[in-house]
């Protein structure tokens, strides 16, 4: 129910700060809002680079054979979700107790250590140890980004805040991936050999992780608006997230987390591997293929970025379950089209990339807006933790299936799989909307 409707019934609502079109929750200051925007620019982009640098690592630093690269990449993605599976629920509950910024800052610090150490890995257990370290940082960052986005807006501005944050996410991904795709070639041009250039690229990214860490620790609110004050055990607050699944909307949000996180992971994990393998067939070096594919990847993210701005204009005025159905349909169409392209270095690929950007961002925004709406204020971090846990399960399955099909069928197979799964999510969303359409109008006013 809107704050205006509550006021008309004589219910006094605490006042929050307003910044432009965004109404913030009580206790959230303008400086906290601006810190969130700055952090949003870096968060997803820095996580994405784990996968984007992988083809150069495989081909120029470790010499992994082409015919097993998909399965190795899939195994790395599966392993990278183990920390999230183990920690995400507890991380959300712990952040309800300790505050978001401490957990968020730790995530960037751990990620920086992972990037710093990655160039020393070999094609043995050390490679997977580096994956595990970076994954620990990534799980904290992903959980806290969702939690802070859910904490900061009032209900009337929730969709608009999700939109601007993921606009900045997309802008950050496009900028950081565009930079990282050129780093090996830049360092090679300075006279470094392939190993030295790879190390310099990883260390450059490690240094970038320190920027959002400082922003988080200095700028975010010390406590979440809904932070628990009682000294409850962490597992007791975690049960809040599991109990919330009694609501069919929450179940849909959890399912959407699995699909949207998996879709985002697929783009990062397999795109440049696909470019490098196709590039080799066309006589390109890995560094040249990555640089050439970087333009296509940037096109995806730039489209996603501006689509987020478009969605801001209407997302708070539509039923979010119904929007989930539409977003999933867009994602299904775009991922299947993208995956059916045979030669990714043709101009037609840019058209497919534009549609993929729309589909990718639609799924992410719908998922984030829905969970922010249906998660209860008390123990919201626990609900977001389970939401993140479901995202990890989605990545786990997508990486396992996608990595195998990458090797035995076609490099673009993971995109086709995600298109089909998004179609199933569309059907589930329509079913949930039909079940809850009257309740949604009464409770949320949409």
Q: How many CA atoms lie within 13 A of 409 on its CB side?
A: 14
Q: Single out the residue of 159, 106, 148, 113 nearest to residue 132, CA to CA.
A: 113
194-208 vs 158-189: helix crossing angle, rounded to 10 = 150
Residue 293, CB half-sphere, CA atoms under 13 Å: how many?
A: 29
Average pLDDT over residues 1-19: 53
What's the pLDDT band for 179 if we cut at 50, 70, 90? confident
Does position 438 have pLDDT exceeding 70, yes or no? no
Strand partners, 22: 19
User: Would you list the domain boundaries of the chain?
Assistant: 22-444
Q: Is the pLDDT of residue 222 over 80?
A: no
> What confidence tier does 293 reach under pLDDT thresholds 50, 70, 90?
confident
Q: Please state, in angstroms and as integers, the Cα–Cα distance from residue 398 to each residue in 171, 192, 265, following that order.
A: 25, 36, 8
Strand partners, 18: 23
- What is residue 25's DSSP assignment? P
Give me the helices (H) in 282-412, please.
286-312, 320-339, 348-374, 380-408
Domain 22-444 coded CATH 1.20.1250.20:
yes
Distance CA 43, CA 24 (A): 21
- CA-CA distance, 169 to 365, in Å (whole number)? 11
E-assigned strand segments in 78-222 = none
pLDDT band at residue 88 using 50, 70 and 90 as cut-offs: low
Segment 398-424 shows an average pLDDT of 88
Characterize 324-354 residue by residue with b for buried, 16 or more Cβ atoms within 10 angstroms of its Cβ, and e for exposed: bbebbbbbbbbbbbbbebeebbeeebeebbb
* pLDDT more than 90, % of the chain: 13
5 pLDDT higher than 50: no
Sign for the CA dihedral angle at 284, 288, 290, 291 comes to negative
12 pLDDT above the threshold of 70: no
Rounded-to-integer distance, Cα 325 and Cα 335, Å: 15
Nearest to 436 by CA among 370, 345, 356, 353: 370
pLDDT tens sequence across 352-374: 888 888 888 888 778 877 877 77
Question: Whole-prediction pTM value?
Answer: 0.70
446/441 Cα distance (integer angstroms): 5
Tokens found for residue 34: 């601006």
Q: Coil, helix or strand for 256?
A: helix
Q: For residue range 315-350, what is the model confidence (pLDDT) as tens digits?
A: 777 788 888 888 889 889 988 998 888 888 888 888
- pLDDT at res. 211: 94
Look at residue 22 and give its three-state secondary structure: strand
CA dist 153 and 157 (Å) reads 6
First to last CA, the chain: 9
Dihedral (Cα; 9, 12, 13, 19), 10-degree rounding: 100
344 vs 308: which has the higher pLDDT: 344
Give pLDDT, residue 155.
Answer: 74
The alpha helices in 190-246, defined as continuous H runs, are 194-208, 210-219, 234-243
Cβ atoms 205, 118 nearer than 8 A: no
Average pLDDT of the segment spanning 36-41: 91
Name 407's Cβ contacts closer than 8 Å, sequence gap at least 6.
Answer: 67, 68, 69, 70, 71
Give the model's pLDDT for residue 92.
Answer: 67
């Amino acid at each position: 129910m809107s704050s205006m409707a509550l006021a008309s019934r004589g219910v006094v609502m605490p006042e929050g700060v307003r910044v432009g079109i965004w109404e913030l929750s009580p206790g959230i200051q303008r400086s906290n809002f601006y810190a969130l925007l700055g952090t949003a620019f870096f968060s997803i982009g820095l996580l994405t680079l784990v996968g984007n640098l992988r083809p150069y690592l495989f081909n120029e630093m470790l010499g992994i054979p082409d015919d097993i690269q998909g399965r190795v990449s899939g195994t790395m993605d599966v392993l990278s979700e183990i920390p999230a599976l183990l920690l995400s629920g507890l991380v959300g509950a712990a952040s309800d107790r300790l505050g978001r910024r401490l957990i968020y800052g730790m995530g960037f610090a751990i990620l920086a250590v992972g990037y710093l150490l990655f160039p020393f890995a070999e094609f043995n257990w050390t490679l997977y140890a580096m994956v595990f370290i970076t994954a620990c940082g990534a799980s904290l960052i992903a959980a806290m980004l969702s939690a802070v986005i859910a904490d900061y807006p009032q209900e009337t501005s929730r969709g608009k805040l999700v939109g601007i944050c993921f606009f900045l996410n997309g802008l950050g991904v496009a900028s950081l991936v565009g930079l990282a795709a050129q780093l090996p070639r830049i360092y090679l041009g300075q006279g470094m050999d392939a190993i030295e250039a790879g190390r310099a690229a990883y260390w450059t990214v490690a240094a970038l992780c320190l920027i959002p860490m400082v922003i988080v620790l200095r700028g975010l609110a010390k406590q979440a608006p809904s932070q628990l004050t009682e000294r409850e055990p962490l597992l007791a607050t975690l049960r809040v997230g599991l109990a919330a699944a009694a609501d069919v909307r929450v179940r849909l949000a959890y399912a959407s987390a699995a699909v949207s996180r998996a879709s985002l992971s697929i783009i990062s994990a397999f795109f440049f591997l696909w470019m490098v393998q196709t590039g080799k067939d066309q006589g390109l070096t890995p560094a040249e293929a990555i640089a050439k594919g970087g333009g296509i990847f940037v096109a995806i993210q730039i489209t996603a970025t501006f689509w987020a701005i478009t969605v801001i204009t209407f997302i708070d005025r539509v039923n979010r379950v119904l929007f989930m159905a539409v977003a999933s349909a867009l994602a299904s169409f775009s991922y299947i089209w993208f995956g059916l392209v045979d030669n990714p270095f043709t101009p037609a690929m840019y058209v497919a990339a534009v549609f993929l950007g729309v589909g990718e961002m639609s799924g992410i925004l719908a998922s984030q807006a829905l969970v922010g709406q249906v998660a209860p204020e008390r123990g919201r971090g626990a609900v977001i933790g389970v939401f993140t846990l479901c995202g990890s399960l989605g990545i786990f399955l997508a990486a396992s299936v996608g990595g195998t099909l990458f090797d035995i069928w076609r490099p673009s197979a993971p995109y086709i799989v995600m298109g089909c799964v998004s179609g199933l999510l569309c059907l589930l969303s329509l079913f949930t909307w039909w079940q809850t359409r009257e309740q949604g109008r009464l409770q949320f006013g949409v």
